[in-house]
Amino acid sequence: MLRLLIADGNERTVRERHAAATGQTSAQSYAQVIHGLEPEARCTLIDPADGDAELAKGTGLGDFDGLIFTGSVLTVAERSAPVVRQVELMRRALELGLSVFGSCWGVQVAAVVAGGDAGPNPKGPEYGFARRLVRTPEAGEHPLVAGRPDAWDAPAIHADAVITPPPSARVLARNALLDVQAIEITHGNGLFWGTQYHPELDLGRLAAMLRFSGEGVVEAGLAADLDAVEAYAREIEAIQSGSEAARRTLAWRNGLGPDVLDARARCTEIANYLDRIGRSGGRQAA
């Protein structure tokens, strides 16, 4: 049975807004995905952005097989107290030797811990999908992206990204908008795997996140107004929950294939991470 610690990247007020908009916090959504892949996994959810967030008495990081970082609206460059607390959690976990996974925010935190840099993507944000992701030449047959086709799409919601990978990094995937879409980072005794895109988001949650991020979508010039964002969100939502004919038509219109539409394929990187820690006991050297 895998014992996983899931760290929600958002502060309490944002978690509450997120839950109101999507029905779950980011950590709860991740736990649901984990249980779909590994029904017997035991997930402990924590909120490291909050000053009063602690593990249960008598429990330490060493009691877990792995640590997962969710997305967040925070910016690493702010170096605010909620950011610093999460940077320190990542640092402690990696120095201890844990295997850590993260999407979006988690990738940026790990990169900064290991000596890289994160900030606004010079080529602009991705709202909706990261398109035509491909392996880098150095990725080879890396197990994080095992099972991915030559090119794939994935749900994505971000403005910031890893700009300068740390010296210990191996960049595994990229696309036309961003050079660092998937990465491996070694630091201390630990190992981090992560994606800038969101393999944990199904299309219903992605639609909810588009609504939640609507002002950012408009500010980026990707939609004329919030009504346009809502129309796009409804269309994405209908690809998952509409009639079979509607799903087929909308998937064709949006250029989406099984890499996004099939639940297992969409979660490829998370499944690969769980497979690794299941075999290694959560430690890099195993």
Residue 286 resides in a domain: no
pLDDT value of position 281:
58
Whether residues 193 and 209 fall in one domain = no
CB atoms within 10 A of CB 85: 17
**Residue range(s) defining the domain that contains residue 30:** 3-202+266-280
Is residue 220 situated within a structural domain?
yes
230 phi and psi, to 5 degrees?
A: -60, -40
Residue 145 pLDDT: 97
Residues 94 and 209 in one domain: no
Q: How far apart are CA 73 and CA 108, in angstroms?
A: 12
Q: Are 161 and 108 in contact (CB under 8 A)?
A: yes
Which residues does residue 120 pair with via DSSP β-bridges, in sequence order?
160
- pLDDT for 55 equals 73
- How many domains is the chain built from? 2
On whether both 166 and 191 belong to a single domain, the answer is yes
Judgement on whether residues 117 and 214 belong to the same structural domain of the protein: no
Q: Give dist(CA 237, CA 240) in Å, integer.
A: 6
Residues 253 and 163 grouped into a single domain: no
Residue 125 covered by a domain: yes
Residue 211 shares a structural domain with residue 113: no
Q: What pLDDT score was predicted for residue 1?
A: 87
My answer on whether 192 and 236 are in the same domain is no
Predicted confidence at residue 164, as pLDDT, reads: 96
> Given the structure tokens 């909620």, which residue do they identify?
82
Cα separation, 173 vs 80, whole angstroms: 30
Q: What is the pLDDT of residue 52?
A: 73
What is the three-class DSSP state of 59?
coil
Helix residue ranges per DSSP H, the chain: 12-22, 26-37, 81-96, 105-113, 203-212, 214-219, 226-241, 244-253, 258-261, 263-266, 268-280
C-alpha to C-alpha distance for 148 and 214, rounded to whole angstroms: 30
Q: Give the CATH number of the domain where residue 29 resides.
A: 3.40.50.880
Q: Is residue 119 domain-resident?
A: yes
Q: What angle do CA 30, 35, 38 make, to 5 degrees?
A: 120
Do 180 and 223 share a structural domain? no
How far is the C-alpha of 230 from the C-alpha of 223, rounded, in Å?
10
pLDDT at 18: 87
What whole-number distance in Å separates Cα of residue 275 and Cα of residue 37?
10
Q: Is residue 142 part of a domain?
A: yes
Q: Is residue 251 part of a domain?
A: yes
Contact 53, 46 (CB under 8 A): yes
Residues 183 and 225 in one domain: no
Give pLDDT tens digits along the chain (286 positions).
Answer: 899 999 999 999 999 988 888 889 999 999 999 999 999 999 999 999 998 777 766 678 889 999 999 999 999 998 899 999 999 999 999 999 999 999 999 999 999 999 999 999 999 999 999 999 999 999 999 999 999 999 999 999 999 999 999 999 999 999 999 999 999 999 999 999 999 999 999 999 999 999 999 999 999 999 999 999 999 999 999 999 988 999 999 999 999 999 999 999 999 999 999 999 987 655 543 3
Q: 283 in helix, strand or coil?
A: strand
Residue 285 lies in a domain: no
Task: Answer yes or no: do 159 and 100 share one domain.
Answer: yes
- My answer on whether 108 and 215 are in the same domain is no
- In a domain, residue 52? The reply is yes
User: Do 161 and 223 share a domain, yes or no?
Assistant: no
CA pair distance 214, 88, nearest whole angstrom: 31
CA–CA distance, 197 with 218 (Å, rounded to integer): 20
